[in-house]
Structure 1
Amino acid sequence: MSNITRFGVSLDETLLGEFDALCEKRGYPNRSEAIRDLIRKSLVEEEWQDKDTEVAATLTLIYDHHRSDLAQRITAVQHEEHHMVITTLHVHLDHNNCLEVIVLKGKVEMIRSFAERLTSTKGVVYGNLSLATMANRLR
């Protein structure tokens, strides 16, 4: 960071104590690093409100691979949206269940739509979308 600006923050002692405990628990070397992370997180979450924002994301699915043609349907959706799919990790958790992690890149609205399409597929027992920033504004 080339231009550092120092500023003061006034906090209630109880809140500051809880913040310091959180900083220690998460391993921050100082309050400034923790505050920078909180600010970045808020800015990134604000970015996601714009449906045209380019994001990276992971979609995690758990499903029963014995369900009739479910794996083929999940794969077919990925092929239809191949421009967003960067890679896929497929893991056999046990005899019945598979975990699939799909790494995505695209506009937030399209990523969310893709995730909803897969997580709502009959036979998918768990789905979770995790958005990430492309970090363009955070440098």
Structure 2
Amino acid sequence: MERFTISLNDDLAAEFDQWIAARGYSNRSEAVRDLLRKEIETKRLSKDEAIYSIATLSYVYNHHERNLAERLTSLQHDAHDLVVSSMHVHLDHDDCMETLFLRGMTQRIRSLADKMSAETGVRHASLNLVPVKMAMSHHQHGHHDHAHSHFHPRT
């Protein structure tokens, strides 16, 4: 692990300590590490340097909207290799919230999110991307060779 020292004026240090306490960090180092990770991953995403990501896509919709639930389900089936799972919550008599857990190529995840968000009746859609490294793994199970992928956080 590499160590470095930074200097902060008293006001900035006090604000940073308040920020740390409000979020429950046990020390400044972990808070700085998280800030750096976030900044680096944001840069990767903004410059399209993140080839693979894990993600959540959350959205609210009115389940009475004509064929909307079927259209959303169809989009998920079309991207079955990206959709790991989904969670559906009934908010009231009309509205539902769904969260999709996704993994795969970042551009394909963004494309799916754009398509789903653009469906008439979908409101409050939010995509949260986390860039990852993908590695293929091969395992021997009896007489069968089994290959699958692992997604690891980058930083």
Report the TM-score when normalising by structure 1: 0.89
Show the counterpart of 2:147: none
| Cα drift, residue 6 of structure 1 | 2.2
Deviations 1:52-98 (A, max 9, x none): 52100011011000011000000011111111111111111111011
Paired residues for 1:1-139 under 5 Å: 4-48=1-45, 49-50=47-48, 53-134=51-132, 135-138=152-155
Deviations 1:3-56 (A, max 9, x none): x22221121211111001111111111111111111111122222232552100
**How many Å separate the matches in 2 of 1:97 and 1:113?**
24
Alpha-carbon contact 2:130-2:153 (below 8 Å) kept = no
> Where do 5+ consecutive residues of structure 1 fail to align?
none
**How many Å separate the matches in 1 of 2:26 and 2:108?**
38
User: What letter matches 2:98 in structure 1?
Assistant: E
Alpha-carbon contact 2:88-2:99 (below 8 Å) kept = yes
**How many Å separate the matches in 2 of 1:125 and 1:136?**
29
Alpha-carbon contact 1:51-1:107 (below 8 Å) kept = no
> What is the aligned-residue RMSD (CA, Å)?
1.4
Show the counterpart of 2:144: none
User: What letter matches 1:6 in structure 2?
Assistant: R
| Cα drift, residue 99 of structure 1 | 0.8
Identical-pair percentage: 41
> Where do 5+ consecutive residues of structure 2 fail to align?
133-151
Distance 1:52 1:9, change over 3 A: closer
Report the TM-score when normalising by structure 2: 0.81
SS of the counterpart of 1:5?
A: coil
Q: Which has the higher strand share?
A: 2
**How many Å separate the matches in 2 of 1:16 and 1:52?**
33
Alpha-carbon contact 2:50-2:131 (below 8 Å) kept = no
Alpha-carbon contact 2:52-2:106 (below 8 Å) kept = yes
Structure 1 window deviating more from structure 2 (128-137 vs 116-125): it is 128-137
